[in-house]
Each structure stands twice: as structure tokens, then as C-alpha cells.
Amino acid sequence: MPHSSAHSARALRDAIANGQLTAEAACQAALDRIAARDPELHAFHTVFAERALERARALDRSTGPRGPLHGVPIALKDNITVAGTVTTAGSKMLATYRPPYDATVVERLEAAGAIVIGKTICDEFSMGSSTENCAFGPSRNPWNPERAPGGSSGGSAVAVAAGMTPLALGSDTGGSIRQPAAFCGVVGLKPTYGRVSRYGLIAYASSLDQIGPFATTVRDAALCLDVISGPDPKDSTAAAVEPPKFEAALTGDIAGLRVGVPRGWLREGVDTEVMARFEESLATLERLGAVVSEIELPHSRVAVPVYYLVATAEASANLARFDGVRYGYRAPDSRDLGEMYDRTRDQGFGPEVKRRIMLGTYVLSAGYYDAYYVKAQQVRTLIRRDFDEAFADVDVVATPTTPTAAFPLGALRDDPLKMYLADTFTVSAPLAGLPAISVPCGWTDDRLPVGLQLTGRAWDEATILRVADAFERTRH
Ligand code: GLN
């Protein structure tokens, strides 16, 4: 069995608080599990055993107040900076880059007593759905190592699913937390845009990127969001909205809650087993007292093309900084500055990143800007408007997280368009800035997990967490 929720972050924290376990022993257990499982699964790019054990011992010695994650090991996607440690974003460009500062989420986790244990494999600059675009990948799905773990935050999903760490952080731009969570059978939450500081997150598409947790239980995801969310003077897009206590929202009661299902959108090619698990999930929600009705999200049908215009445009701007001068890799033996730029970018970036920089540069260039970029922004507004209208009648929107369960590694590698379709149901929420969660909802016949996605109103993570938690309780 890859994991057991008996090893939840909360259970671990409580065991440490009760003196049943030291933080050092918890940390050592995570390191042992990594040593046992990671040679096959390759969730981690770097493990900081010494740094983590030292911190754990310091926590064991401390007599001050205990944070809500006191002694809990956590893994971070390798696009989140930890001062002085290598942070690659899955790219050769940053293979030896050591940022001089901690991401805000890292400061908050450590202040809460969490122990950062290492950095996980991800697609290069978060561009991908399988970790196969990683310069150091791929990771493997713990339920079937021949299958993709999902991406781009695949390593974080694997770390949690395989019981290496009870919690991990990823980032989600078009599905990169929810899709690997679904593929690996864990909980993954993308918060509302602006809920969590992006300071220290290596940017892919700045109007979409958001950091969020992976966990084995919804409650752990809520607990982690409680720690990492909230305003941050270092990131002006981290909204000045004080978050509620998310863990307190998990009442188990969803009687009367209205669930909207965009049936028109779902008719476009969902695998039959995934659809069957989805229908069963709706029946479960109804049994819990929810009222399920059909809604329309007409513009979400074109969310994938809109996403690949907006995200690539922003990526082309964000990745301009990797020029061999200020950061990371520099091609050797160039004759002049122009050649150094060319060769650095040619050698430092992988093929998918180059494809997206070219596409993004194209859609922003004179003559195409209005036809593609502006048009995409207009449709993005319509996607958001559809949700606003739907949320007049329902409290959450339910879809499968992904159209299929985990595909085999290699199957879509050479077909970027097919790979992009793995994002069919996950790109709308970030385009609309909304929170969305993936919670495990069953299995395919060949024992691959299936995810249920719940999307909520902006700033209303509490409701999707409450529904996901109530749903999860029926499954244990
Ligand atoms: N799979 C999507 C992509 O390739 C989403 C990535 C993400 O959310 N970072 O862009």
C-alpha cells in the first residue's frame, strides 16, 4: 500500500506533542521511507537529511510554544526557494542555482514547526502534466510505476502518496497540483489566486500561479493552508484578505449544499470508468444531503486553448530573465554577447519550454496580439463570468479532476497537444482565479486512483474543503 492516512500530519503532530515520538524520530522515519521508496519512484531531486535532522533536534529541545505543524516533515516542489539550497525548477538552466532567500511559504512553514525535508521533481518551469519534461525526471506513480504521476508537481504528489512525507507543497497554474493529486490518489488544493504569497515561487505564468498543499486527508490540506495563507508585504498579489480558519470549517455537514454539474462540458471525452466514479461521487454527495443540479459553463470548453495562449505569453516574459548573465547556466566558449544569449537559452531550456516561449512570443507580437492574446483575455473574462453566474445558483461546481486516470509514462511524451488535453478540467479554475480541490473518489479496474474536483467561489476555500472532507469521511 502506498500510503495510509494513519500517518496524517495531524496524527504525527499529536503523537509528537504527546511525547509518543520525537520530531527527530519522525524526521528519521521520513528519511528512511525516502531511502526505501525513492530509488524506484524518484519523487525527490534533493533531500536535506542533515538540515532536517538538525532542525528536528532543535524542535525537540525547544520549550517555547508549539506551532500547528511542530515536527511534521514536508516536501517542497523544486520551484520554491529555500535559502542556500539548490532550486532548479526542473531545468538545466538552474541546475546549480542557490537562491539567497526563503519563499514566504517556507518561512511560514518553519515558523509553524514544519521540517522541510527536500525538494521534489517537477516539469521544467512547471510546464507539463507528467514530470517527463523535467531535466532530472521523471517521477513514477506509486500505484503503478509504469504510469505517470501527473505534473507538473508530480514529485510532491508521489512523496505524499508513497508515505514519504505527510505533506508537500506544489504550485498550480493550470492543474499542476490537482492533476497529480488525482493521478496519485491524494488530496490537492489550489487556493484562490492571491490567497498564498508567490514570493519565492519561480514564476511560470504570474496571473495564474498559486502555491498549495498535497495531503493524505482534507483536514491536513486545510491545516497546511491555515499555515501558508494570508497577506504578505513581499508579494503585492497576495491579497490583503485575512483568511478564516480553514480547519474549523470542516463540520462534516453539507445538508442543503448546492452542487452544480456542467454536463455539457463533461460530454467531451471523459473515460467511462472515470465518469462512473464521478457519478457515484455525486450520489454520495446527495446521500449526505447535497442537492445536485445541472449548470452551464459554455466557455470552459475553450479553456485549454485560452490557457495555452495566456500562460505561454506570460511565460515568454517571465523566462526572458534567464540569459546567462544574472541567473544559472551560461553556455561556455561564446564569441560575443549575442551568441552567449543564444547558446545559453538553446542549451539551458528543454524542448517544451522552448515551444512555449516561441508560442508566447508569437501571440504577443505585433499583428497577432489582438487576434490571439487580446482575444484569449476576453474569453478568459467570459469563463469567469460563467462561473459567477453559476455561483448564483450553486455553492460548488463538481467535475472529474482529469478526463482519464494516470496514463503510461511515455504515452503522450511526443504529442504535446494530447498532453495539453490532460488539463481539460483543471485550467478553468486558475483562469477564473477560483479555488479548486481534488479529492480521491475511487479506482479504475486496474487499480488507478480517480479524483473528484470541486471548484468554489473566490475566497471560499472553506466550502470546498468542507464538502471534500464530508465526502472523504464516507470513504474511510
Ligand atoms: N499541465 C499544465 C501545463 O502544462 C499545467 C501546468 C501547471 O499548472 N503548472 O501547463
Is 357 a member of any domain?
no
For residue 110, tell me if it sits in a domain. Answer: yes
For residue 365, indicate whether it is catalytic: no
130 in a structural domain? yes
Give yes or no: 152 in active site: yes
Catalytic member of 5, 91, 139, 176: 176
**Can you say whether residue 127 is alpha, beta or left, with left for phi > 0 and alpha for psi between -120 and 50 degrees?**
beta
Residue 176: active-site member: yes
Mean per-residue pLDDT for 203-229? 98
Identify the three-state secondary structure at position 413.
coil
Ligand 1 atom closest to the CA of 307, numbered from 1: 10
Q: Is residue 98 part of a domain?
A: yes
- Is there a domain that residue 267 lies in? no
Count of alpha carbons within 13 angstroms of residue 67, beta-carbon side: 23
Which domain CATH number covers 247? Answer: 3.90.1300.10
Structural domain including 467 reads 5-255+429-473
Residue 373 lies in a domain: no
Residue 463 within a domain:
yes
Best substitution site from 122, 153, 176, 310 to test ligand 1's pocket, by max atoms within 8 Å of Cβ? 176
122 part of a folded domain:
yes
Strand partners, 450: 442
Instruction: State the DSSP code for 66.
Output: P
Confidence of residue 416 (pLDDT cuts 50, 70, 90): confident
Distance in angstroms (rounded) separating the CA atoms of residues 270 and 450: 12
pLDDT at 1 over 50: no
Predicted pLDDT of residue 205 = 97
Q: 366-400 pLDDT, tens per residue? A: 999 999 999 999 999 999 999 999 999 999 999 99
Compute, in angstroms, the gap from residue 8 CA to the centroid of ligand 1.
Answer: 27
Q: Which residue among 8, 77, 92, 171 is the active-site one?
A: 77
Instruction: Find the Cα–Cα–Cα–Cα dihedral 225, 228, 229, 231, rounded to 10°.
Output: 170
**How much distance in Å is there from the Cα of 79 to the middle of ligand 1?**
13
Q: What is the pLDDT of residues 45-73, one digit of tens each?
A: 999 999 999 999 999 999 989 999 999 99
C-alpha cell at 82: 529555500
Q: Model confidence over 315-367: pLDDT tens digits?
A: 999 999 999 998 899 999 999 999 999 999 999 999 999 999 999 999 999 99
Atom of ligand 1 nearest to the CA of 177: 8
Residues having CB closer than 6 A to ligand 1 are 126-129, 152, 172-176, 204, 311, 423
- List C-alpha distances in Å: 396 to 186, 258, 414, 459: 20, 7, 36, 12
Domains identified in the chain, total number = 1
Chain mean position to CA 473: 23
